[in-house]
Amino acid sequence: MNNYSETELKNIEIVKSLYTDVFDTGNCPVVNNYYHDDAKCHLKGKTLLVEQMKGGMAEFVEKHTSISTSIESLFAVGDRTYARLNRQATLKGEEQVRDIEIMVEKRFVDGKVAELWFMVDDEIYSNIWLNQLSA
């Protein structure tokens, strides 16, 4: 058993909620409760802002059905959380379920996400998020 600090435990609970309650449903407005207004997301050498992250999340939910995220591992060290996720989703109009492997490091400041590093092995998923840069 890990001896997490109170802050680390709180950050872990926020991450769990984000992946199961928010991102699987596309509940974009709730993101504002968990992220600083100037939070940054680093993905494949690009930097997205909060509104772009929300746009990517909304577009992903719009294009897919049966979205489900499993947290494979999650731990905290100081102001950071590290999560390995498996997201299963089906593109609308297709029957094949896609397994999407994701790794995310989040940096927290004052109980909210200030910065995150997002690594995903799915080209469709990456492109949805990166297309938000030109929107």
In a domain, 113, yes or no: yes
What confidence tens digit (pLDDT) does each residue in 50-76 have?
888 888 888 888 888 888 889 999 999
**Which residues are bridge partners to 112 per DSSP?**
109
**Domain encompassing residue 80:** 6-134
In a domain, 13, yes or no: yes
Instruction: Name the average pLDDT for the chain.
Output: 86
Closest alpha carbon to 74 in 6, 5, 19: 19
Total structural domains in the chain?
1
For the domain that residue 102 is a member of, what is the CATH number? 3.10.450.50
Using pLDDT thresholds of 50, 70 and 90, give the confidence band for residue 135: very low
* 49 against 25, higher pLDDT: 49
Confidence check: pLDDT of 122 > 70: no
In degrees to the nearest 10, what's the CA dihedral of 63, 81, 110, 58? 0
pTM comes to 0.85
d(CA 96, CA 83): 25
* 132 against 10, higher pLDDT: 10
Closest alpha carbon to 43 in 33, 56, 60: 56
**Helix axes of 123-130 and 50-63: crossing angle, nearest 10 degrees:** 130
In a domain, 1, yes or no: no
* 45 against 121, higher pLDDT: 45
d(CA 58, CA 56): 5
